Structure 1
Amino acid sequence: MPETAKRWLRRQRTRTAPEPRRQQVPSAHSSQAGTGPADEEAQVIVVGAGPAGSAAAFHLARAGVDVVLLEKGTFPRDKVCGDGLTPQGVHQLVRMGIDIDAPGWTRTRGMRWVCEGRQVHIDWPRLGARPDFGLTRSRHDFDEILAGHAREAGARLHTHVKATEPVTDRAGRITGLRALAGADKQPKLYRAPVVIAADGASARTALAMGLQRDPSRQVATAARRYYRSATRTDDPYLELWADLLCSRTQRDLPGYGWIFPLGDGRVNVGLGALARRQHGSVDLRATMEQWLARLPQEWGLREENADSPWRSAALPMGFNRRPQYSRGMLLVGDSAGMVSPWSGEGIGQAMEAGEAAADIVALAMLRPTGPAREEALRQYPREIQRRWGTYYRIGNSVADLVLRRYGYRPLLNRRLMASPVLVRFLARTLTYAADETAHDAVDTVLRTLLRLVPAPDLSHGTRKP
């Protein structure tokens, strides 16, 4: 992004005056019916108030853009997640001004990998551009905090609004959304020249616009349950197990198990696994029961201490939906398959992509409707490619050639776990902690590797015929 544009955005975000402007946007011609008394207009519509959508709405509102944030559910709400944030995610919370010292946030020092009876502690790297700690917090109220922050910044947050179909002009460009609003599901039309789709793994808005998932890209499944555990709730490390076996085949799980402390008397215990083409799907519930039986009795991870139902969800990975910008619509977070193919992390990437989308849209709105604005919006997939394209391309290959077949056990062999240098390299690779301000050997090797591999083109994809 040009330096002048960055300075403009900084001035917009730090200004102390006032309410974000409410500029009326002329209605575009629609192939659907006309507007009615319940219609609502904005400069930008964001669909979905998860981490990606709330981050996008927050940064847009801070830049003075009139933005509507639509959420089909209500808050608080539950989400299937590990509830853990790496320093990348913490960095995004700080950029949004979230009070991470308030009650409910628990800091972590790093990861503890367990494999074949051995343990290795990997502290979060101390780099100049990011915090040196992670956080945990239940998704039960995490999303509510972010959405509330977007509303306080000036975004118009509407809950209980389910988008049902896009509205397009004669050229097929999205100009709004039809929705069912409120408990009585009243039809309503929302209009805007730009739509940011952040509606999660279902990607209903993207699908309705004909953007299909790439079947060659990774898809994983995660399952988790909360347990009461007095001995593990204040653990300063996120614990990950790499030597788990699938219950049916007794082959290595193509993923890992986790035990994440929440600091409130509970732990989040779960599994994440890639789909295995050769041997079918993994029975995560049976595999988890087999794993829990191995754990020490005093940890309390037994049925009588369960604090939630068993829940699972899909993890769209490795940019499995493209293009990430098309005909007035940008994809962020899970709707674009932004979960890391290396680690399964998705919250940090979703929030960062939301900010990137907001930056680009805010600048695009300064241009007149037409080719000039369109060229600005097309910078979004290029920016995503610049940030993660090569890293995800390598990760997709590693996931397909190694993780899908053998799990994480090969990456955590005895020789690697005995080498501090290799352990640091693995930690930075799994969490993508390359930093231009760092000058040690590990960071130099990682940046060199990423430069040597060409990034994929994320601006093109498969559309429904």
Structure 2
Amino acid sequence: MTAVPASYNLPPDQLPASCDVLVIGAGPAGTAAATTLARAGFDVVLVDQHSFPRDKICGDGLIPDAHKALQKLGALDEVMAVAQPAAHIGCIGPRGGRIDVPGTLAVLPRKELDFILLKNAVKHGVRMFAPVRFAAPIEEGGRVLGAQLKAGDSTHELRAGWTILATGAVPQALIAAGMSRRQTPSGVALRGYVKNDKMVGRIDKLEIIWHRAVSPGYGWIFPCRDGIFNIGVGIADSHGEARNGKLAKKEANLREIFDDFTRVYAPAKELVDGGEWTSPLKGAPLRCTLEGAQYSRPGLIVTGEAAGSTYSFSGEGIGKAMETGILAAEAVLAGRESTLDDATVRQRYEAGLLALKPRFDLYQRANKVNRHPWLADLLIWRAKKSERLLRRMSGVLNETSNPGNLVSMKGIVRLFTE
């Protein structure tokens, strides 16, 4: 393996004392924010608890919103040069019905995607330090002025005009920053990589499968390059039951659900039985629907999955993570260009998130398909007979159609009248 240039993992003992903006977390949200600010001339320090490249548990699907964000960041061409492109998402119902929904799609393992985004950030002047962990904010007069960072047994104080928290679904950083409103995740997912050259060409679309055996979740198989497939299962509302006023985990064993998935969906069984695991099954939490965290406080902005940027229905979060990271950066940038005060910068960012919130809420409504798989059968059956409905389903991918309307009572009635 080619050695990773030191500039992508600067040693913690070289951390500066100050910078314009400190971004904590080098996933899609963090690198999107860092790149946007560095291109505008900000002195940006980016830190992550892991050295890069590093693995990240994800479905790896890039839907149209991710393509748009990558284009805005100037990274789309490099990503698509190594990603596996696809022209459809295959939606498969419990009875085996299938409809292929067209869209601009691709698959790229997060280990590769996130490293490309990091390299793009560094190219634009971002300084990346790893492994470095966020310990606590530095506060004076009620405003965050940077962070205490941990590297091994050492603690370093880095002061910054703004601190952007992009630490993903694990809540420890949110708790330390006083920004957590819910410690439990919205959902959980389990995925692994299987190499099976015999399935190349047979599975050439992003496949999402609904079945009673995996309800209230879904299964997926996404084709990567070189005969490798991302296969997994997810539950988008795994912690939705209230007990004593707190969200509690529902009774669901993801490994058992995965085994049921490979039992009821023949291509999944064939893929696993005839293939070789290149990475074992690993689980991860999801934070969805722009809920579970306070968005900002003086001097501090929370973005990406830490702010709940993953869609509930589909579990897709890469595109919206980048989009929210860009929103955070643009708010800070507007503050400098227009000499806006802190409160106005925060209001600008939070208004951008709230403008996205109705779409997240609609995906939450559409999540009833996961709980009631027969709705998938109904949608697939009708879409085969209605070009208009297929266009609406494609519009959900392209964010031009309302996903909640497809499974509302009104929408179900329309299935029989269109």
TM-score (norm 1): 0.75
Mind listing any 5+ residue stretches in structure 2 that lack a counterpart?
A: 1-12, 243-248, 407-418
> How far is 1:329 from its partner?
1.1
Confirm or deny: 8 A CA contact 1:261 1:267 kept in the other structure. yes
From 218, 222, 228, give the equivalent of 2:189: 222
- Work out whether 1:105 is the aligned partner of 2:73: no
> How far is 1:417 from its partner?
3.4
The one-letter code matched in structure 2 to 1:383 is G
Confirm or deny: 8 A CA contact 1:226 1:307 kept in the other structure. yes
How is 1:288-367 mapped onto 2 (pairs within 5 angstroms)? 288-294=258-264, 295-296=266-267, 299-302=270-273, 305-366=276-337
The one-letter code matched in structure 2 to 1:345 is E
Q: Give me the CA root mean square deviation.
A: 2.7
How is 1:30-179 mapped onto 2 (pairs within 5 angstroms)? 39-98=16-75, 99-100=77-78, 103-115=81-93, 116-124=95-103, 133-171=104-142, 173-179=143-149
Measure, in 2, the Cα distance between the counterparts of 1:238 and 1:307: 19
Post-superposition Cα deviations, 1:408-433, rounded to whole Å, max 9, x if no partner, equal 4314415433333223323433x352
Secondary structure at the aligned position of 2:278 is classed as coil
Confirm or deny: 8 A CA contact 2:262 2:268 kept in the other structure. no
How is 1:450-465 mapped onto 2 (pairs within 5 angstroms)? none
> How far is 1:103 from its partner?
4.5
Confirm or deny: 8 A CA contact 1:364 1:377 kept in the other structure. no
Secondary structure at the aligned position of 2:47 is classed as strand
Secondary structure at the aligned position of 1:90 is classed as helix
Confirm or deny: 8 A CA contact 2:287 2:310 kept in the other structure. yes
Confirm or deny: 8 A CA contact 1:233 1:267 kept in the other structure. no
From 357, 379, 384, give the equivalent of 2:348: 379
The structure where strand makes up a greater share of residues is 2
TM-score (norm 2): 0.83
- Name the counterpart of 2:382: 416
- Name the counterpart of 2:410: none
> How far is 1:301 from its partner?
1.6
From 228, 237, 241, give the equivalent of 1:266: 228
The one-letter code matched in structure 2 to 1:225 is G
Post-superposition Cα deviations, 1:423-459, rounded to whole Å, max 9, x if no partner, equal 3323433x3522xxxxxxxx5xx49979xxxxxxxxx
Give the 4+ runs in structure 1 shifted more than 6 A: 447-450
The one-letter code matched in structure 1 to 2:199 is R
- Name the counterpart of 2:241: 277
The one-letter code matched in structure 2 to 1:355 is I
> How far is 1:214 from its partner?
4.4
The one-letter code matched in structure 2 to 1:342 is F
Identity over aligned pairs, percent: 27
Change in 2 beyond 3 A, CA 1:296/1:64: closer
- Name the counterpart of 1:213: 181
Post-superposition Cα deviations, 1:218-256, rounded to whole Å, max 9, x if no partner, equal 71111001111213345431011111414xxxxxx1121
Range that drifts further, 299-308 or 341-350 = 299-308
- Work out whether 1:199 is the aligned partner of 2:178: no
- Name the counterpart of 2:371: 405
Confirm or deny: 8 A CA contact 2:298 2:342 kept in the other structure. no
Confirm or deny: 8 A CA contact 1:318 1:393 kept in the other structure. yes
- Name the counterpart of 1:455: none
Measure, in 2, the Cα distance between the counterparts of 1:433 and 1:144: 27
Post-superposition Cα deviations, 1:29-79, rounded to whole Å, max 9, x if no partner, equal xxxxxxx99652111110000000001100100111111111110111111
Measure, in 1, the Cα distance between the counterparts of 2:102 and 2:167: 33
Change in 2 beyond 3 A, CA 1:255/1:296: closer
Confirm or deny: 8 A CA contact 2:303 2:321 kept in the other structure. yes
The one-letter code matched in structure 1 to 2:65 is Q
Change in 2 beyond 3 A, CA 1:105/1:405: closer
> What is the count of residue pairs matched by the alignment?
380
Measure, in 1, the Cα distance between the counterparts of 2:292 and 2:268: 43
Confirm or deny: 8 A CA contact 1:166 1:205 kept in the other structure. no
The one-letter code matched in structure 1 to 2:31 is S
- Name the counterpart of 1:29: none
- Work out whether 1:389 is the aligned partner of 2:357: yes
Change in 2 beyond 3 A, CA 1:286/1:268: same
Post-superposition Cα deviations, 1:84-123, rounded to whole Å, max 9, x if no partner, equal 1001101211222223466421111020011111111100
Post-superposition Cα deviations, 1:362-385, rounded to whole Å, max 9, x if no partner, equal 1212355xx734313321010111
Post-superposition Cα deviations, 1:277-318, rounded to whole Å, max 9, x if no partner, equal 399332111121122134248943228622211100011111
Secondary structure at the aligned position of 2:197 is classed as coil
Mind listing any 5+ residue stretches in structure 1 that lack a counterpart?
A: 1-35, 125-132, 247-252, 435-442, 451-465
